[in-house]
Structure 1
Amino acid sequence: MTPTPTNLADSCNNLALRKAARYLGATYDKALTPVGLRATQFSILQKLSAHGETTITSLAEMIAMDRTTMASNLKPLAREGLVTVEPSAADRRARIVTITPDGLSRMKQALPLWQDVQARFEESFGADAAAQLRASLEAVLHTGFTPWAE
């Protein structure tokens, strides 16, 4: 049955996902405020600390973000000296992102704040339900859509 305009919002996967993402994202942003990071910035620093230097394109793929948005997200981190963005020696068109010692320190300062909100969410939502939610959201990334230019 095709949804009618009156129940479209109740059946829209995109709206449901975005509402939950805004709600949870704002919760993580608020928790990380004392160390001056937003949740997306924390995720970027965490990925860089785990994977070392990488290209903007690879980092964008790790976080499921288009390259242009990733480049915009890196600018304030670079201004604060938390990451460096330099041309690749192998391919001058590619830009290599590296976490700095200050970036690693800031990420480590943020980690207990992130762990606290993570634990509070899992306590409220349920640890098994949270794991299932993450698995379902990961599966969304493998549905075959191509949202960004290739």
Structure 2
Amino acid sequence: MPAESPVPFAATLHVRDHCLCLHLQRAARALARLFDEALRPLGLTNQQFSLLMSLNRPEPPSIAPVAKLLGMDRTTLTAALKPLERRGLVSVSPGDKDRRSRLLAITPEGIALLAEAVPIWRSTHDAVDKRLGEAEPERLRQTLRALS
């Protein structure tokens, strides 16, 4: 590094201490690891749990609304569906009106696995909420929704 950097080390420390994106990414990774570990006995990751949960609805959705809900692009969602489809947990079929569109459905096997996963998710989530304190979880959710 040059003797006199145009970006002083103090700026690095300021970003480290104040960057919302950095702190949100670190928290998201820590939470994902926590939930990944909790769901591991079922062979699920946190992302897969969220994906299965997003398909737990009365009518099979197309890719676009699921991608939007999960904050993913369509290509990433399509890739994330592949292992779940191979395991028989989800099915992807052509749309009724537009054969080019794809409808995503959770299978009975996916529902059964989700039924096992929800209590694990709840207990893990309750532990996280407890760490945040009495009113903080809902306040944090409101703040995060405002940012997304």
TM-score class, shorter = 0.7 to 0.9
Larger radius of gyration: 2
Counterpart pick for 2:133 among 108, 117, 126: 126
Corresponding position of 2:147: 140
Instruction: Quote the offset at 1:48 in angstroms.
Output: 1.1
**RMSD value, Cα:** 1.4
Structure 1 residues without counterparts, runs of 5 or longer: 142-150
**Deviation per CA, 1:127-149, whole angstroms, max 9, x where unpaired?**
420111111111111xxxxxxxx
**Deviation per CA, 1:83-125, whole angstroms, max 9, x where unpaired?**
0011212112211100000000000011111011011111111
Corresponding position of 1:92: 99
TM-aligned CA distance change 1:57 to 1:8, over 3 Å: same
What is the number of equivalent residue pairs in this alignment? 139
Instruction: Quote the offset at 1:64 in angstroms.
Output: 1.5
**Deviation per CA, 1:32-81, whole angstroms, max 9, x where unpaired?**
01111111111111121135310111111111211111111111100000
Map 1:45-124 to 2 at 5 A: 45-124=52-131
Corresponding position of 2:3: none
Quick one: distance in 1 between partners of 2:141 and 2:69?
A: 15
Q: Given residue 65 of structure 1, which amino acid in structure 2 is its aligned partner?
A: M
Identity %: 37
Quick one: distance in 1 between partners of 2:133 and 2:98?
A: 46
Corresponding position of 1:145: none
